[in-house]
Structure 1
Amino acid sequence: MTDTLLEIHTAALAGMTASPGAFGKWAGLVAEEDFPDADLSEATFCARLTEEGESGGALTALWARSLTAWDFADSPRWSPDTEPRTAERRSAAYDRLRFGDDIRKVLDSAVPVVRMAGTTVIAREHTPWYTPERAAARSFYWRAYEGKLRQKGWSEAAIASLDEASRTVVERLTDPEQEAPRQAKGLVVGYVQSGKTANFTGVTAKAVDAGYRLVIILGGTLNLLRAQTQRRLDMELIGQENILRGADPDDVDSLVGIDYIGDDADWPAFVQHGGRPSVLRAFDIERLTTRENDYQSLAQGIRALEFEKREQGLPLYDRANLHRAAARVMVVKKNKSVLTKLVKDLRQIKGILGELPALIIDDESDQASVNTSDPKKWDKGATERTAINGLISELLGLLPRAQYIGYSATPFANVFVDPGDAEDIFPSDFLISLPRPHGYMGAQDFHDLDSPLDYSERTAANSQEKAHVRGIGEEQGDRLQEAMDAFLLTGALKLFRADHGVPEQAFRHHTMLIHESVRTDDHAELADLVKSMWHQAGYASTEGHTRLAALWEGDFAAVSAARALDLPNPAAYRELQPYVSRARQLITKGGNPVVVVNGNSDRYFDQLDLDFDRTPNVWKILIGGTKLSRGFTVEGLTVTYYRRTTRQADTLMQMGRWFGFRPGYQDLVRLYIGREEALTKTRTADLYEAFEAVCRDEEQFRQQLAQYAELVDGQPQVTPAQIPPLVAQHLSWVRPSARNKMFNAQLVEVRSPGKPVEPAAYPQDPEELRRNTERWQPLLSRFTEQTESFTSSPTDGSSGRTFSALTARVSHADLIAVLSQLEWERTGIFLPHLRYLAQLDGRLAKVDDWLLIAPQLAQASRTEASVLGSVPLSLVRRSRQADKPSFGRIAGLDHRLAAQNLIDAAAVPGAVPPRGVGPGTGVVLLYPVVEATADTEVPSVVSQGKADPSKLVMAFTLIPPQSAIGTSRRLVHFEARNSRNEDAIIAATADQDR
Structure 2
Amino acid sequence: MTYTDTLRLTLHKSALAGMQDSRPKNLLRALAYQAEDEGEDAAAVATEGDFRTTLTHAHPTDQLVELWRKQLTQWDYAEQPSWSETDPRTDDRRVAIMSLLGLDEDTRKLLDSLIPVPRAEGPVVISPQHVEWYTPQSQQGRSWYWPAYRRLLSEKGWPESAVAGLDVATDSVVERLADPTSYETYQSKGLVVGYVQSGKTANFTGVIAKAMDAGYRLVIVLGGTLNLLRAQTQRRLDMELVGRENILRGAPEYESDYADDPAWPQGKFLSHGGLPSARGGFDIVRMTTRDNDYKSLLQGIVALEFEKQEPNLPLHDPRNLHRSSARLMVVKKNKTVLAKLVKDLNKIKTPLSEIPVLIIDDESDEASVNTANPTRPDAERTAINQKISELLSILPRAQYVGYTATPFANVFVDPSDTEDIFPRDFIVSLPRPSGYMGVQDFHDLDSPIPPEERTFANSNEKAHVRDILLSSDEDDTALQQAMDMFVLTAAMKLFREDQGGLGHRYFQHHTMLIHESVRTAEHRELRMRVQRLWWTSGYTGASGHERLRKLFHADLAPVSDVRADGFAVPVSYEDLAPYVGTAAIRIGGDDRPIIVVNGDTDIENGEADFDKRPLWKILIGGQKLARGFTVEGLTVTYYRRRTNNASTLMQMGRWFGFRQGYRDLVRLYLGREETMGRKEIDLYEAFEAICRDEESFRDQLKQYARPVGDGPGITPAQVPPLVAQHLSWLRPTSANKMYNARLAELRSPGLWEEPTAHPKAVGVLRDNTALWTPILEGLSSTTTTFTYRFDQAQKPHRFEALTGLFPSNRILPILRQLKWLVPEHFQPHLTYLEDITNVSGQLDDWLVVAPQHTARTQQIVLGDSGRRFSWFGVERRRDPLFGGISNPRHRDALRRVAGALPSCGDAATEAYVSERRGVVALYPIVEKKNVDAIGPDGRMDPGKVVMAFGFVAPAAARGRDDRVVRFTTIDSSRAGDAIITVD
**TM-score, length basis structure 1:** 0.91
Q: 1:741 to 1:543 in 2, by over 3 A?
A: same
Task: Map 1:405-484; keep pairs closer than 5 Å.
Answer: 405-416=401-412, 424-473=420-469, 479-484=478-483
CA distance in 1, matches of 2:336, 2:189: 24
**TM-score, length basis structure 2:** 0.92
Deviations 1:551-590 (A, max 9, x none): 0000111100111151101000001001000010011032
Could you tell me which residue of structure 2 aligns to residue 878 of structure 1? 874
Letter of the aligned partner of 2:360 in structure 1? I
Would the aligned equivalents of 1:188 and 1:432 in 2 still touch at CA under 8 Å? yes
Q: 1:794 to 1:171 in 2, by over 3 A?
A: farther
Could you tell me which residue of structure 2 aligns to residue 608 of structure 1? 606
Could you tell me which residue of structure 1 aligns to residue 800 of structure 2? 804
1:11 to 1, 6, 14: 14
CA distance in 2, matches of 1:15, 1:980: 53
Would the aligned equivalents of 2:385 and 2:418 in 1 still touch at CA under 8 Å? no
> Does 2:35 align with 1:40?
no
Would the aligned equivalents of 2:357 and 2:398 in 1 still touch at CA under 8 Å? yes
Task: Map 1:313-332; keep pairs closer than 5 Å.
Answer: 313-332=312-331
Task: Map 1:676-687; keep pairs closer than 5 Å.
Answer: 676-678=673-675, 681-687=677-683
Could you tell me which residue of structure 2 aligns to residue 636 of structure 1? 633
Would the aligned equivalents of 1:297 and 1:345 in 2 still touch at CA under 8 Å? yes
Which shifted more, 291-300 or 206-215?
291-300
Q: 1:969 to 1:322 in 2, by over 3 A?
A: farther
> Does 2:219 align with 1:226?
no
CA distance in 2, matches of 1:244, 1:151: 23
**How much has 1:895 moved relative to structure 2?**
1.9
Q: 1:818 to 1:417 in 2, by over 3 A?
A: closer
Letter of the aligned partner of 1:183 in structure 2? Q
Deviations 1:886-942 (A, max 9, x none): 22212222222223334345899xxx9954544422222222223359xxx967536
Letter of the aligned partner of 1:80 in structure 2? E
Q: How many residue pairs are counted as aligned between the two chains?
A: 966
Would the aligned equivalents of 1:854 and 1:925 in 2 still touch at CA under 8 Å? yes
CA distance in 1, matches of 2:278, 2:788: 65
CA distance in 1, matches of 2:264, 2:114: 33
Identity of aligned residues (%): 53
Would the aligned equivalents of 1:560 and 1:569 in 2 still touch at CA under 8 Å? yes
CA distance in 1, matches of 2:167, 2:482: 40
Deviations 1:381-414 (A, max 9, x none): xx99722111111111111011001111111112
Would the aligned equivalents of 1:420 and 1:984 in 2 still touch at CA under 8 Å? no
CA distance in 2, matches of 1:775, 1:895: 23
> Does 2:898 align with 1:893?
no
Q: Secondary structure at the match of 1:841?
A: helix
Q: Which runs of 5+ in 1 are unaligned?
A: 248-253
Would the aligned equivalents of 2:708 and 2:714 in 1 still touch at CA under 8 Å? no
Q: Secondary structure at the match of 1:269?
A: coil
Task: Map 1:51-200; keep pairs closer than 5 Å.
Answer: 53-54=59-60, 56-81=61-86, 83-135=87-139, 137-200=141-204
Which shifted more, 843-852 or 628-637?
843-852
**How much has 1:945 moved relative to structure 2?**
4.9
> Does 2:858 align with 1:863?
yes
Deviations 1:938-974 (A, max 9, x none): 6753643556533322211112224434343333344
Task: Map 1:281-430; keep pairs closer than 5 Å.
Answer: 281-372=280-371, 375-376=374-375, 386-416=382-412, 424-430=420-426
Q: 1:714 to 1:264 in 2, by over 3 A?
A: farther
1:760 to 750, 756, 766: 756
CA distance in 1, matches of 2:813, 2:439: 39
CA distance in 1, matches of 2:770, 2:36: 85
Q: Secondary structure at the match of 1:479?
A: helix
Deviations 1:344-363 (A, max 9, x none): 11101245311111100011
Q: 1:718 to 1:788 in 2, by over 3 A?
A: farther
**How much has 1:329 moved relative to structure 2?**
1.1
**How much has 1:223 moved relative to structure 2?**
2.4
Letter of the aligned partner of 2:528 in structure 1? D
Which shifted more, 221-230 or 445-454?
221-230
Q: 1:137 to 1:779 in 2, by over 3 A?
A: farther
CA distance in 2, matches of 1:441, 1:808: 44
Letter of the aligned partner of 1:728 in structure 2? A
Q: 1:825 to 1:984 in 2, by over 3 A?
A: same
Could you tell me which residue of structure 2 aligns to residue 983 of structure 1? 976
Q: Secondary structure at the match of 1:460?
A: coil
Q: 1:550 to 1:504 in 2, by over 3 A?
A: farther
Could you tell me which residue of structure 1 aligns to residue 27 of structure 2? 23
1:708 to 700, 704, 709: 704
Q: Secondary structure at the match of 1:187?
A: strand
**How much has 1:675 moved relative to structure 2?**
1.4
Could you tell me which residue of structure 1 aligns to residue 768 of structure 2? 772
Q: 1:550 to 1:947 in 2, by over 3 A?
A: same
Deviations 1:494-537 (A, max 9, x none): 11011111257442111111112222221111111111111111
Q: Secondary structure at the match of 1:278?
A: helix
**How much has 1:774 moved relative to structure 2?**
1.0
Could you tell me which residue of structure 2 aligns to residue 966 of structure 1? 959
CA distance in 1, matches of 2:671, 2:418: 44
Could you tell me which residue of structure 2 aligns to residue 949 of structure 1? 942
> Does 2:787 align with 1:791?
yes
Would the aligned equivalents of 1:736 and 1:743 in 2 still touch at CA under 8 Å? no
CA distance in 1, matches of 2:967, 2:411: 17
Deviations 1:790-832 (A, max 9, x none): 3335599945423333322222222111111112223443223
Could you tell me which residue of structure 2 aligns to residue 749 of structure 1? 745
Deviations 1:99-137 (A, max 9, x none): 233333332333222322211111232122222443465
Which shifted more, 465-474 or 663-672?
465-474
**How much has 1:987 moved relative to structure 2?**
6.6
Q: 1:491 to 1:714 in 2, by over 3 A?
A: farther
CA distance in 1, matches of 2:604, 2:12: 51
Deviations 1:41-87 (A, max 9, x none): 33432444465524x13222211111111111223333313x32233
Q: Secondary structure at the match of 2:234?
A: helix
Would the aligned equivalents of 1:906 and 1:919 in 2 still touch at CA under 8 Å? no
Could you tell me which residue of structure 2 aligns to residue 519 of structure 1? 519
Would the aligned equivalents of 2:922 and 2:949 in 1 still touch at CA under 8 Å? yes
Would the aligned equivalents of 1:316 and 1:356 in 2 still touch at CA under 8 Å? yes
Would the aligned equivalents of 2:371 and 2:733 in 1 still touch at CA under 8 Å? no
Q: Secondary structure at the match of 2:749?
A: coil
Would the aligned equivalents of 1:740 and 1:988 in 2 still touch at CA under 8 Å? yes
Would the aligned equivalents of 1:419 and 1:428 in 2 still touch at CA under 8 Å? no
CA distance in 2, matches of 1:34, 1:174: 49
Could you tell me which residue of structure 2 aligns to residue 668 of structure 1? 665
Q: Secondary structure at the match of 1:339?
A: helix
CA distance in 1, matches of 2:292, 2:777: 74
Would the aligned equivalents of 2:27 and 2:102 in 1 still touch at CA under 8 Å? yes
Could you tell me which residue of structure 2 aligns to residue 273 of structure 1? 272
Which shifted more, 683-692 or 458-467?
683-692
CA distance in 1, matches of 2:715, 2:603: 42
**How much has 1:218 moved relative to structure 2?**
0.9
Would the aligned equivalents of 1:178 and 1:317 in 2 still touch at CA under 8 Å? yes
**How much has 1:258 moved relative to structure 2?**
2.8
Letter of the aligned partner of 1:336 in structure 2? K
Would the aligned equivalents of 1:494 and 1:665 in 2 still touch at CA under 8 Å? yes
Letter of the aligned partner of 1:355 in structure 2? E
CA distance in 1, matches of 2:603, 2:332: 15
CA distance in 2, matches of 1:385, 1:801: 50
